[in-house]
Amino acid sequence: MHLVLASENPHKTEEIASILYSRKWSEYQKASLDLTLESLANYPGLKLPPEIGATYSENAAAKARTVAKKTGHWAMGDDSGLEVKALDGAPGLHSARYAGHHPTYEDNLNKLLAAMKDVPEGQRQARFICTLALASPEGEVSIVEGICEGEITLSQSGRKGFGYDPIFYYPPAKKTFAELSAAEKNAISHRGRALKAAIAFFLKSKSKID
């Protein structure tokens, strides 16, 4: 079975591959799923549809369905976001473009910290959401999701990870995501939790996939 990662974000692709091959790969081997991961780099010219859906699920499904149809393989689309309670859920669906078209991670971080400058500690709750769409070559789509609760820090801390990781504090670890090792983050992150659900889906669906 080939699974194509329907993402143009190299950091997401790297993180997904890292999680599947390290933390849970043994489960695939034991189940004889024989899974081969591919990125869009193996399909030059294949473009993802724009993220114009009203929900994470709609965006993830559109990506996965497009890639599955054009490659003839199973595809996994990802749409993720950071939702801040004090900002009524923003940046949410617009997390990647919070500071405008084609912003840098730093642009998004700075805008969010500026928006939160008057929000006191104790009222800076936030959560990361990862929605994964699993699409078959026939166009059938299943949705799984992972959520991680945390807080927005007053300033950046840590140099690992990407995106909003330097300002997302995870209380149980007493660290931001950017202060955690890749293995530590993958074990508790929204994407790690969503991929755990995806693994369960593929193991349950093995006979159908084969």
Give catalytic residue positions. Answer: 79
Distance CA 153, CA 35 (A): 39
**Residue 77 in contact with residue 55, Cβ under 8 Å?**
no
Give which of 124, 99, 101, 119 is closest to 109, Cα–Cα: 99
Orientation of helix 190-204 relative to helix 10-18, angle to 10°:
60
Distance CA 98, CA 107 (A): 8
- Amino acid identity of residue 119, one-letter, is V
Give the pair of three-digit tokens for residue 100: 């405008």
Residue 54 burial by CB count (10 A; 0-12/13-18/19+): exposed, middle or buried? exposed
- E strands within the chain? 2-6, 36-39, 74-84, 125-135, 141-152, 168-170, 175-176
Distance CA 202, CA 33 (A): 8
